[in-house]
Amino acid sequence: MNLTLKNTLIYSMLAWGLCLVPGEDLLCADDKQPADDSTVSSKSSITVNNCRIKLIDRVILGSDRPGVLEYVEPNEGELVKKGQVIAALKSDALQAAKATAKKKATNVIEIRYSQKARDTAYVELEINLDINKRVPNAVTKLDIKRLTLNAEKSDLQIEQAELEFEMNKLQLDEIDAQIEETKIIAPFDGIVTKKFRSTGEVVRHGDEVLELVSTKRVKVESYVNIDDTWKFQIGTPVEVQLDIPGVRLPIEDKSYPGKIIFVDVEVEPIHGKSIRVWAEVENLDDDLKAGYMATMKIMTDKPESKVAQKSDAK
């Protein structure tokens, strides 16, 4: 009876001790969990969840000077080409000033007249000097000095005429630049997403006229654990897949290549021990919409990725 009770107690203590071991191991494992579970790291890649897609080429185009809009060509949703004039202010006064400046910039009459006057002044001086050679003091020294001064003055008049000619050309260039300021030109191929002003409206300097967006490339942005930032650098290739919450679309199975473009220089305190990064991804089929969520796999095993080695010294 006593032996049976003793054996029962021994078995109970052993079973209780075995139950404690996995509990301690589980506690240690919980303590070692990373601060940010949105990043999963392996030897060949880093998978970053909860990435957001944003536009790179998105600008609001405005007027460089006050005036009245002569036209605003595209409507919302229309495509425009890089270098296309999509809006312009009225420039009648500038066009008239340009016509006047163009006449002055091509007028060489003053230069030609100054050259003729110089030739005449030097001929007159030479004649009087020749007279004095044949008849000493026939022409006074004062008259000779006056004639010499007139000849030298004619040289300066040519320089003055040439300077005014160059100034007229610069004035024409200035008016051309002012006319260019009346135009609103598309800086890249894109689509007009907003139209703030219409033909005939008065605008001030800096007033918004159009919003232009290009979807040909997008950035995929998220936060990466500090430990993982040692495994890649700018230029490291990535693969992006859409991960839209609440729906399942066929394009979510498609992979989009890109590369890391930006790694922040400081830690984001609100995101714990993580750093903001984003990759540029080509969007030729317009599948990647701004605001979509995605998963980004940073390919640290690719040869293009020159991985920085983290120091073990603490």
**Residue range 26-41, pLDDT digits in tens:** 333 333 333 445 566 6
The per-residue pLDDT for 238 is 96
Query: Left, alpha or beta for 212 (phi > 0: left; psi -120 to 50: alpha)?
Result: beta
Average pLDDT for 45-50: 92
Residues 6+ apart with CB under 8 A from 309: 230
Nearest-CA neighbor of 277 among 214, 231, 314? 231
Q: Report which secondary-structure segment, H or E, holds 13.
A: helix 2-31
DSSP letter (8 states) at residue 270: G
How much is the pTM? 0.65
At 250, is the pLDDT very low, low, confident or very high (cuts 50, 70, 90)? confident
Instruction: Kindly tell me if the per-residue pLDDT of 305 is higher than 50.
Output: no
Identify which has the larger pLDDT, 187 or 37.
Answer: 187
